Amino acid sequence: MVNKKIEINFKEYNNLSALGDQDAELIKIADTNLANSYSPYSQFKVSSLILLEGNINVLGTNQENSAYPSGLCAERVAVFSAKSTYPNKKIEKVVIVTEQGNEFPFSPCGSCRQALMEYELNQKEPIEVILKSGNSKIWVFKSIKDLLPFAFEAEDILKKE
Ligand code: THU
């Protein structure tokens, strides 16, 4: 038996002014979009911005439903909309913000990580992930892989000997 461990690297910024101008602006846009969250059941507002190549922003918010499982997270609303409208554009970044927050940001649910991973694997270039919750510190991950280690890769089942 061998004990193994993996390490995840990410950057932490104390506030918006510590970030680059572009990322700070993207977070501001995502924050403004929190008002569009439809979350009457949880009151937990989430907003996501997908930055596509060519400087295209696509926004999404969580959309809830009285039949709870019929709702969808903000990140998937945003990424499915982005890839439905611009199927051939690569995704450069995904920004995820929530209205509520403490010291550290909330991070995306497992289903959203898996959905984002599909596009990262397909485009063969990493998607940066930027997280902020309320006035929390800001976390930046270079790749979805950092948030979903040991991801299932379709290539594994498509490979033929
Ligand atoms: N939610 C998101 O939009 N993204 C996540 O990654 C986690 C949770 C939403 C779903 C639901 O509307 C509310 O937050 C509470 O779970």
**Which pLDDT tens digit goes with each residue over 95-115?**
999 999 999 999 999 999 999
Please tell me what DSSP assigns to residue 70.
Answer: G
Tokens 């995306």 identify what position?
108
Ligand 1 pocket: which of 39, 41, 44 to mutate (most atoms within 8 A of CB): 44
Closest Cα to atom 1 of ligand 1: 73
Instruction: Tell me how crowded residue 153 is: count the other CB atoms within 10 A of its CB.
Output: 12
Report the separation in Å between the CA atom of 33 and the middle of ligand 1, taken as the mean of its atom positions: 15
- Residue with token string 């004990």: 3
**DSSP structural state of residue 34:** G
Give CA–CA dist 62/31, Å, rounded.
Answer: 13
Q: Whose CA is nearest to atom 2 of ligand 1?
A: 73
Active-site residue flag, 75: yes
The one-letter amino acid code at 157 reads: I
Q: What is the mean pLDDT of residues 131-147?
A: 98
Q: What's the pLDDT at 161?
A: 59
Do 60 and 76 form a contact (C-beta atoms < 8 A)?
Answer: yes
Question: Binning pLDDT at 50, 70 and 90, where does residue 159 land?
Answer: low
Q: Under DSSP, is residue 37 helix (H, G, I), strand (E, B) or coil?
A: coil
Question: pTM score > 0.85 for this model?
Answer: yes
Q: In sequence order, what are the residues at sequence separation of 6 or more whose Cβ sits closer than 8 angstroms to the Cβ of residue 108?
A: 73, 75, 96, 116, 129, 131, 147
Q: How far apart are CA 61 and CA 78, in angstroms?
A: 7
Q: How confident is the model at residue 93 (pLDDT cuts 50, 70, 90)?
A: very high
Phi, psi of 156 (to 5 degrees): -60, -35
- Residues 145-151 have a mean pLDDT of 95
Tokens at residue 154, please? 């379709």
Q: Which among 7, 12, 75, 103 is annotated as catalytic?
A: 75
Q: What is the mean pLDDT of residues 66-89?
A: 98
pLDDT of residue 34: 98
Average confidence score pLDDT of the chain: 96
- Domains of the chain (ranges; CATH) run 25-72+83-138 (3.40.140.10)
